Amino acid sequence: MKKLINGVESVEEQMILGLVKSAPDKLRKLDEGNVVVRAQKKEGKVALVSGGGSGHEPAHGGFVGEGMLDAAVAGAVFTSPTPDKIFAGIQAVATDKGVLCVVKNYTGDVMNFEMAIDMAKDEDIEADYVVVNDDVAVKDSLYTTGRRGVAGTVLVHKIAGAKAEQGASLPEVKAVAEKVIANVRTMGMAISPCTVPAAGKPGFELAEDEVEIGIGIHGEPGTTREKLSTADETAKKLLDKILADIDFKGQEVVVMVNGMGATPLMELYVINNFVQDYLKEQGVKVYDTMVGNYMTSIEMAGFSLTLLRLDDEMKALYDAKADTPALKR
Amino acid sequence: MKKLINGVESVEEQMILGLVKSAPDKLRKLDEGNVVVRAQKKEGKVALVSGGGSGHEPAHGGFVGEGMLDAAVAGAVFTSPTPDKIFAGIQAVATDKGVLCVVKNYTGDVMNFEMAIDMAKDEDIEADYVVVNDDVAVKDSLYTTGRRGVAGTVLVHKIAGAKAEQGASLPEVKAVAEKVIANVRTMGMAISPCTVPAAGKPGFELAEDEVEIGIGIHGEPGTTREKLSTADETAKKLLDKILADIDFKGQEVVVMVNGMGATPLMELYVINNFVQDYLKEQGVKVYDTMVGNYMTSIEMAGFSLTLLRLDDEMKALYDAKADTPALKR
């Protein structure tokens, strides 16, 4: 295992500290654990809380800030944070307008967030949650019942975050989060795996000419193993699966071309070149495009494509101001 | 070679097209070649032009936009663009206030930009240039006389770009660019090499426990090959070399922790955690920190550290608005 770290035990905490120290006027780490919160608590708004295992940087700590999250709770790499840490995050940012948790659909995350919300309710904090399940690759997986939650989660952070920032009520913020979830779809692939520091070896192995289609974001293998093809053919395969899932024709969409961590921007741009042409051909109108590393799997090489069908409300919220380390608008 | 591309001949053009299509209202590609310009030409300001070989994405096309560059000219991977393409870029964005080119110190780039500037002068375009040489790793290299120009170039784009956007004269914009160059220092390292598509194999090879210290950004080997050490020890080694070059003590600085293309953000944050503590210990005051992929070497894994000593003018220009695909403020 070749990594620029100081030890497998320290990696999550040092990473969170390093993130917070990159923006010390805007972010703060809780003493209770690897929980990133805004440096100045904002009252009078629904607090938006997310999190999950580490290894998806910049998700989720990099999305804490104005217009997006109030808190992000990081577990060990690819391991759900425990309920007490999630509760600490909720408690630190809770306002009298309540708390909405945005949870990626992985069994451990859903369970632990539910327990933390129960703990919050015991303390008279109004708390609720939504579960993101944008991955069209699999119905059920090793880690999840139902579709997995992956890169589309960032768009839930963005749009529900903007709604919360405007002072909307908890049911209103939840409703718009659910609307994003209903309209967002993702699929990913990898050309090389990643290594969980504590495991010391890759989650799977690929030959020089092999790729994994339909990977999740926890280093697990995908749904099919295939020969390496061109960028265009690979992107078409993912897009076709997404376009078959819900009807995007004639709709305005946000496109996210997301790197899995070690994919050079050169390749993401080459992929985007095809994606834009193909969507036009398919009658899908692109409202905006994001290209970069938003929801990664440590140093996995590969990418995911995300499409979000927009309406006027989502469009305005997508365009609203955001000031976070990983997303500014 | 395992890459998500469609062929070694098409990679540069498809990449530039993919970048432009990610922000079609803001960017445009010239028909003459792989030149990215702002979609709306801005008059009444010095036009800022940069460029160089491809493979450093998001540099330089990702920095075209309000507050930074007016044009970026991309050559083949790690190969200087030819003078006629650079001239096409200059011609497309030139205003009556003139053009300033920001050139990284590599022999081919300097020669070709000089020739393009001569061509521009023949057409009565007022044009000048600055050469960035921030890399403290080597005095002379295989590719350069004097120090190489690397990640610090992005800070020249930012600060000179802001000055130009304010309507300053060509000598004023050049003077502030020169001031950034005099005060910026960088050093980098790699834990794995990169592969130029047309070459098909890595520029150098490293054993599982080896790293290259003092790498440039063209896939060339570094100054010394060493055993893989901790993130903290590695960062200390680079910082000590930078801090010994010019006096940063008691100064306010911008810190850039730059990924070389395939480095996960997790590792960059771990490195930043040390960098911030060590600079404080050394009496260097951090004004702002950038962590991410700004000047890469395709899919090289590793990082560079950049420090820029600030004065009040540079601080204000650093903080000024920027709206580009790869840097927003």
Distance spanning both ends of chain B, measured CA to CA: 37
| A25 → chain B, closest CA residue | B288
| Overall CATH class of domain B12-182 | alpha beta
| B7 → chain A, closest CA residue | A230
CB atoms within 10 A of CB A159: 30
- Cα-Cα-Cα-Cα dihedral of B6, B7, B12, B14, to 10°? -30
Indicate yes or no: CB of B57 within 8 angstroms of CB of A266: yes
pLDDT at residue B138, rounded to an integer: 84
Question: What is the least distance, in Å, from the CA of B286 to any CA of chain A?
Answer: 10
| B260 → chain A, closest CA residue | A264
Distance spanning both ends of chain A, measured CA to CA: 37
CB atoms within 10 A of CB B64: 32
Question: What is the least distance, in Å, from the CA of B9 to any CA of chain A?
Answer: 12
Mutation for testing the B interface, residue in A8, A16, A19, A21 having most B CBs under 10 Å:
A21
SS3 A316: helix
Question: What is the least distance, in Å, from the CA of A15 to any CA of chain B?
Answer: 4
DSSP string, B39-106: SSPPPSSPEEEEEEEESSTTTTGGGBSBTSBSEEEEEEETSPPPHHHHHHHHHHH--TT-EEEEEES-
Band the pLDDT of B301: cuts 50, 70, 90.
very high
Indicate yes or no: CB of A270 within 8 angstroms of CB of B4: yes
Indicate if B218 belongs to the active site: yes
Whether the domain at B12-182 and the domain at B184-318 fall into the same CATH topology:
no
pLDDT at residue B220, rounded to an integer: 79
Question: What is the least distance, in Å, from the CA of A98 to any CA of chain B?
Answer: 31
| B5 → chain A, closest CA residue | A231
Q: What is the β-pairing status of strands B47-54 and B99-104?
A: parallel
Question: In whole angstroms, what is the distance from residue B273 CA to residue A3 CA?
Answer: 16
pLDDT tens for B7-22 read 999 999 999 999 999 9
Q: Where are the domains of chain B?
A: 12-182, 184-318
pLDDT tens for B182-197 read 999 999 999 999 999 9
Tokens representing A232? Answer: 């265009």
Indicate if A56 belongs to the active site: yes
pLDDT at B142 over 80: no
Peptide bond into B218 cis (omega under 30): no
Closest of B76, B97, B99, B78 to residue B87, by C-alpha: B99
**CA angle centred on B236, ends B232 and B238, rounded to 5°:** 120
Question: In whole angstroms, what is the distance from residue A60 CA to residue A79 CA?
Answer: 14
Indicate yes or no: CB of B269 within 8 angstroms of CB of A15: yes
pTM: 0.97
Contact between residue B260 and residue B302 where contact means Cβ atoms under 8 Å apart? yes
| Residue B307 burial class via C-beta count within 10 angstroms: exposed 0-12, middle 13-18, buried 19 and up | buried
Indicate yes or no: CB of A15 within 8 angstroms of CB of B270: yes
Mean pLDDT value of segment B318-322:
98
CATH architecture for residues B184-318: 2-Layer Sandwich (3.30)
**In which residue ranges of chain A is pLDDT below 70?**
142-143
Indicate yes or no: CB of A270 within 8 angstroms of CB of B208: no
pLDDT at residue A146, rounded to an integer: 87
Chain B residues touching A289 at Cβ < 8 A? 21-23
Tokens representing B17? Answer: 């097209």
Question: In whole angstroms, what is the distance from residue A122 CA to residue B210 CA?
Answer: 53
Residues in chain B: 329
Q: Does this complex have an ipTM over 0.90?
A: yes
pLDDT at residue B302, rounded to an integer: 98
Question: In whole angstroms, what is the distance from residue B101 CA to residue B119 CA?
Answer: 13
Indicate yes or no: CB of B272 within 8 angstroms of CB of A328: no
pLDDT tens for B271-283 read 999 999 999 999 9
pLDDT tens for B54-94 read 999 999 999 999 999 999 999 999 999 999 999 999 999 99
Question: What is the least distance, in Å, from the CA of B111 to any CA of chain A?
Answer: 26
Place of tokens 């802001």: B162
Chain B residues touching A18 at Cβ < 8 A? 268-274, 276, 291
| B276 → chain A, closest CA residue | A21
Indicate yes or no: CB of B271 within 8 angstroms of CB of A22: no
Q: What percent of chain B shows pLDDT beyond 90?
A: 94
Mutation for testing the A interface, residue in B266, B303, B319 having most A CBs under 10 Å:
B266
For residue B109, give every residue at least 6 positions away whose Cβ sits within 8 Å of its Cβ, in sequence order, or none: B51, B52, B53, B80, B103, B149
pLDDT at residue B232, rounded to an integer: 98
pLDDT tens for A237-250 read 999 999 999 999 99
Indicate yes or no: CB of B291 within 8 angstroms of CB of A54: no
Across the A/B interface, how many CB contacts are shorter than 8 Å?
Answer: 185
Contact between residue A167 and residue A270 where contact means Cβ atoms under 8 Å apart? no
Chain A residues touching B296 at Cβ < 8 A? 264-265
Closest of B32, B249, B14, B55 to residue A273, by C-alpha: B14
